[in-house]
């Protein structure tokens, strides 16, 4: 826990709050306690760091990003960082056994932790939101009383695009939506969630990127 706090205090917070210009709309809608699920579009590795920074500092030990096991746990050093510093919950992209792929996510919610989840799966192209995968619906069905907070992130894909290692200072916007809950039916829930994030993406004026 001490290493995580030092990493976020000395590296992540200065990066997010000083290097990146950050405009947050409706910050008060972010969860103040767990259990909860924060759902966002995904364009950059900065997405997770920004969301973890914007949530209350006291909640840092309870924040559990969900990431692909074949990526974040593919190398011993990366696996150590993912587990010990980021507290990432590994999720298999291809389920080949009878094991429950969402078991650790469910356990985290039962422990009143906060999941950070990107339903698109892998990082997409900036300003192009992909189709949401339905794993979030299965998780919501198991925990129908857990609030699901939609978030739209803009600019982070320009600050640190997929495949790039050099950070480019770029003004970023964060739009936080009203919490949603399980609607009782998968297709309707997924439509509501995608529409909520799309509506957030249309808030305010954002000039097109060149």
Which pLDDT score, from 0 to 100, does residue 204 have? 61
Task: Give the model's confidence band at 210: pLDDT under 50 very low, under 70 low, under 90 confident, else very high.
Answer: very low
Q: Which two tokens stand for residue 168?
A: 């480019």
- pLDDT over 50 at 3, yes or no: yes
Residue 98 domain-assigned (yes or no):
yes
Which pLDDT score, from 0 to 100, does residue 44 have? 80
What are the tens digits of pLDDT across the range 158-204? Answer: 655 555 555 555 678 899 999 999 999 999 999 999 999 999 988 86
Instruction: Give the total number of structural domains in the chain.
Output: 1
Q: Is the CB of residue 89 less than 8 Å from the CB of residue 115?
A: yes
Q: In terms of C-beta distances under 8 Å and separation of at least 24 residues, what long-range contacts does 67-75 make, across chains too?
A: 67/91, 68/92, 68/93, 68/121, 68/122, 69/93
Task: Give the single-character DSSP code of 28.
Answer: G
Task: Give the model's confidence band at 78: pLDDT under 50 very low, under 70 low, under 90 confident, else very high.
Answer: confident
Residue 36 domain-assigned (yes or no):
yes
Residue 209 domain-assigned (yes or no):
no
Count other Cβ atoms within 10 Å, centred on residue 154. Answer: 23
- pLDDT over 90 at 30, yes or no: yes
Residue 208 domain-assigned (yes or no):
no
CATH number for 59: 3.40.1130.10
pTM of the model: 0.87
- pLDDT over 60 at 113, yes or no: yes
Residue 210 domain-assigned (yes or no):
no
Residue 37 domain-assigned (yes or no):
yes
């Amino acid at each position: 826990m001490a290493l995580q706090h030092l990493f976020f205090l000395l590296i992540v917070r200065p990066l997010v709050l000083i290097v990146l210009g950050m405009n947050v709309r409706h910050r008060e809608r972010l969860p103040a306690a767990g259990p909860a699920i924060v759902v966002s579009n995904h364009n950059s590795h900065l997405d997770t760091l920004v969301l973890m920074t914007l949530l209350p500092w006291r909640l840092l030990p309870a924040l559990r990003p969900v990431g692909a096991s074949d990526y974040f746990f593919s190398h011993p050093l990366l696996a150590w960082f993912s587990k010990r510093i980021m507290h990432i919950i590994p999720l298999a992209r291809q389920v080949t056994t009878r094991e429950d792929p969402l078991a650790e996510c469910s356990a985290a919610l039962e422990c009143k932790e906060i999941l950070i989840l990107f339903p698109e799966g892998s990082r997409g192209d900036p300003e192009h939101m992909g189709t949401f995968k339905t794993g979030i619906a299965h998780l919501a069905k198991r925990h129908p009383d857990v609030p699901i907070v939609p978030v739209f992130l803009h600019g982070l894909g320009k600050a640190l695009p997929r495949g790039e290692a050099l950070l480019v200072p770029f003004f970023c916007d964060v739009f936080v939506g009203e919490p949603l809950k399980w609607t009782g039916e998968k297709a309707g829930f997924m439509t509501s969630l995608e529409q909520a994030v799309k509506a957030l993406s249309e808030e305010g004026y954002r000039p097109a990127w060149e």
